[in-house]
Structure 1
Amino acid sequence: MKYLEEFQNPELARRLLEDIRATVTRPWALMEVCGGQTHTIIRHGIDQLLPEGLELIHGPGCPVCVTPLEVIDKALEIASRPDVIFCSFGDMLRVPGSDRDLFRVRSEGGDVRVVYSPLDALKIARQNPERQVVFFGIGFETTAPPNAMTVYQARKHGIRNFSLLVSHVRVPPAIEAIMQSPDCRVQGFLAAGHVCSVMGTGEYPELAERFRVPIVVTGFEPLDILEGIRRTVRQLERGEHMVDNAYRRAVRDEGNAAARAMLDDVFETTDRAWRGIGVIPQSGWRLSERYREFDAEHRFQVGSITTCEPAACRSGEVLQGLLKPDQCEAFGTVCTPRTPLGATMVSSEGACAAYYLYRRLGAPAAPAAAMEASPVA
């Protein structure tokens, strides 16, 4: 199948690894800013195959994981109301709020529905004009355009019983916040290809220059990751810090003009809280003034809800790359996918979920042994 088998070829992976080993002369720390990339890395043991001293740090790239606790609690409050049909993607239903999750709300009688597109929620609103229908709009630049389009369609067709609970975040301000942290060890970034397919690469050169870090846009298959690492390490070894698009089969430097126009029309940038991290200035979107009537937070007056993160959950440190999931005392014991303390254990893109799924049952294999086992096959 095109773009699957050829990007998981073990022989090509070995060649890339040999090139990386031949290039590296000193320790380097790279961060991938995408939960999908994290799962590829852990599933295929890519981090274990790299030369000693070359470390991959898992960043805040999981959209479910960075949705703040207070937004989850706002969702729970809205979903509990008898006149509301609350729609969400399935991976949000198990994310814990302060005292329950959306599954619990549904078991208690709330009308919580799993949908596969925000347009499904808009269809439900058409079919139920006597009910308020809310879609939980989370995620990075990748999921924002279809959510913007849905609000645009609701306004265009006069569907006034639809609204969006918005928790969209943006990658470039997160990179800036990571680099400004006094605990930062990151020396290069693997940027998420799907985000750049929407937004392009225009915001990254200034970050690369200001913080003197290479930023390589890459995809999600094993060979994509290895090629991204190879290009990043080459820049580091040469003392370079540029933006490099290694995912040109999907990413144009200018991004998707139609999607960006829709985002500019429907949303405006705002300060946004990230779960376990805190508020990052201008790191999110909210509905612009002309679409404010479709803002569920405004419609249901839940803006005053604030919460505190549970002390037992160290997901904030995981999301900042300060802690590997299996270094957390609660990992695999108190915190499991059935009894999660935080979203990083629940989400299909969470780093804790990746470690639990692929590394829980045994110690990591030595790189040589892992190579013989061809984990990238």
Structure 2
Amino acid sequence: MKEDFTAAKGWLERIGELPIAHPVAVMNVCGGHERSLTQLGLRGVLPPNVKLISGPGCPVCVCPEEDLADAIALALTGDVTLVAFGDMLRVPINAAKGEVRSLAEARAKGADIRPISAPQEAVALAASNPARPVVFFAAGFETTTAPVAAMLAQGVPENLSVLLAARLTWPAVDMLLASGDAALDALIAPGHVAAVMGASEWGFIPERYHLPVAVAGFSANSLLAALYSVLRQKLAGKPFLDNCYAELVAPEGNLRAQALLAEVMEVTDANWRGIGVVPRSGFALRGEWKRFDARARFEFSALPRRRAGEMPPGCDCAAVVLGKKQPDQCRLYGTACTPQNPVGPCMVSDEGACHIWWQGGTRAAA
């Protein structure tokens, strides 16, 4: 069903009436928000003093390079079937010249690698091939990690293992704001993550950093309502947490999903590609589910790599993820790095800002 833009037009008019005399930088944390904002062309219709900045909401972009390298090595050298969400197959690692750079390239060399769209596909594949090890390379944020926890809690075949590269969203935002060089005036929090973890999780932003924040969905109406809210908060000098996606997001979130996460996984310090270790931002299997950890079941050989753990030379994906550069300010954007030949992870996923901007028609570096 097509979106009714009548309400959105009203929000745009209200935003246009606000007395915004100075530039206001608003970060949309979620990659899905960036996609909606770009596809809807909202940057082009907002007041010139309102600057929208993409944030760290792309799990493909921040997946540690070493986890990708381990997945590639296991698929190439182990007698296993490796499954992963589709976007992960094309993410490049910093391999030496002539070496395999991605899961897609490993697949082309004969590795048994298959894209899936839901955890239950991994379960079905393992159940139908009981004599063959199946490894689920599970990268993602809370929205996709909760179903992985549910999958394990419900019971899985003994030949299924999980190579977990899951992350919590809010700690990266907390680290960015705590650094003091974020140059942000307000934030729009991710609706799908808040639907799982609760809108209240984002209350630390006004409480600790005195910045406006609003949870938003993915429609023009919800995004513009959230933008109007944070702009009004900024002008009034009274920041608070607003929920502009109340039809799907409760203050406490999905308690059953949170209980499954807490039952199956524990929160750990975790590395983010190009950013470094973010405290208490990752998940690891706990208790009886540790036996399904691929790292406990398999030996991992090291691939020949350069600049291990870093972004490729010249790639500004880390700066884009942290909102310090816009995609077209990257030195490689639209030249060496395109969706057909991605150098950095932000050009791969449909939640990666560089890929979104390219698809939206921005084809050259600024």
**Structure-1-length-normalised TM-score:** 0.90
Determine the C-alpha separation between the residues in 1 that align with 2:8 and 2:253: 29
Contact 1:154–1:160, Cα closer than 8 Å, also in 2:
no
Residue 144 of structure 1: aligned partner? 145
* Residue 22 of structure 2 corresponds to residue 21 of structure 1: no
TM superposition shift of 1:208 = 2.0
Residue 75 of structure 1: aligned partner? 71
Corresponding pairs, count: 356
Residue 135 of structure 1: aligned partner? 136
Determine the C-alpha separation between the residues in 1 that align with 2:136 and 2:316: 29
Determine the C-alpha separation between the residues in 2 that align with 1:315 and 1:362: 16
* Structure 1 stretches lacking a partner, 5+ long: 365-377
1:153-192 map, 5 Å: 153-154=154-155, 159-192=157-190
TM superposition shift of 1:239 = 0.7
Residue 243 of structure 1: aligned partner? 241
- Residue 72 of structure 1: SS of its match in structure 2? helix
Contact 2:60–2:139, Cα closer than 8 Å, also in 1:
yes
Residue 292 of structure 1: aligned partner? 290
Contact 1:90–1:114, Cα closer than 8 Å, also in 2:
yes
- Residue 77 of structure 2: SS of its match in structure 1? coil
Determine the C-alpha separation between the residues in 2 that align with 1:197 and 1:356: 29
Deviations 1:153-198 (A, max 9, x none): 335xxx2211111111112211111101232111211001110111
- Residue 290 of structure 2: SS of its match in structure 1? helix
Residue 98 of structure 2: aligned partner? none
TM superposition shift of 1:303 = 9.8
The percentage of aligned residue pairs carrying the same residue is: 40
Moved over 4 A (4+): 303-306, 361-364
Contact 2:213–2:242, Cα closer than 8 Å, also in 1:
yes
RMSD over equivalenced CA pairs, Å: 1.9
TM superposition shift of 1:129 = 1.7
Determine the C-alpha separation between the residues in 1 that align with 2:45 and 2:297: 51
TM superposition shift of 1:359 = 2.4
Contact 1:151–1:164, Cα closer than 8 Å, also in 2:
no
Cα distance change, pair 325–362 in 1 and its aligned pair in 2 (3 A): closer
Determine the C-alpha separation between the residues in 2 that align with 1:219 and 1:294: 34
* Structure 2 stretches lacking a partner, 5+ long: 96-100
Contact 2:329–2:365, Cα closer than 8 Å, also in 1:
no
* Residue 11 of structure 2 corresponds to residue 30 of structure 1: no
Contact 2:213–2:239, Cα closer than 8 Å, also in 1:
yes
Determine the C-alpha separation between the residues in 1 that align with 2:182 and 2:312: 23
1:1-377 map, 5 Å: 1=1, 4-6=2-4, 9=5, 11-23=6-18, 24-99=20-95, 100-154=101-155, 159-302=157-300, 307-360=309-362
TM superposition shift of 1:14 = 2.9
Cα distance change, pair 264–68 in 1 and its aligned pair in 2 (3 A): same
Determine the C-alpha separation between the residues in 2 that align with 1:171 and 1:263: 14
Cα distance change, pair 301–241 in 1 and its aligned pair in 2 (3 A): farther
Determine the C-alpha separation between the residues in 2 that align with 1:55 and 1:224: 18
Deviations 1:313-335 (A, max 9, x none): 11000000011111112111100
Determine the C-alpha separation between the residues in 2 that align with 1:277 and 1:141: 19
Determine the C-alpha separation between the residues in 2 that align with 1:303 and 1:172: 33
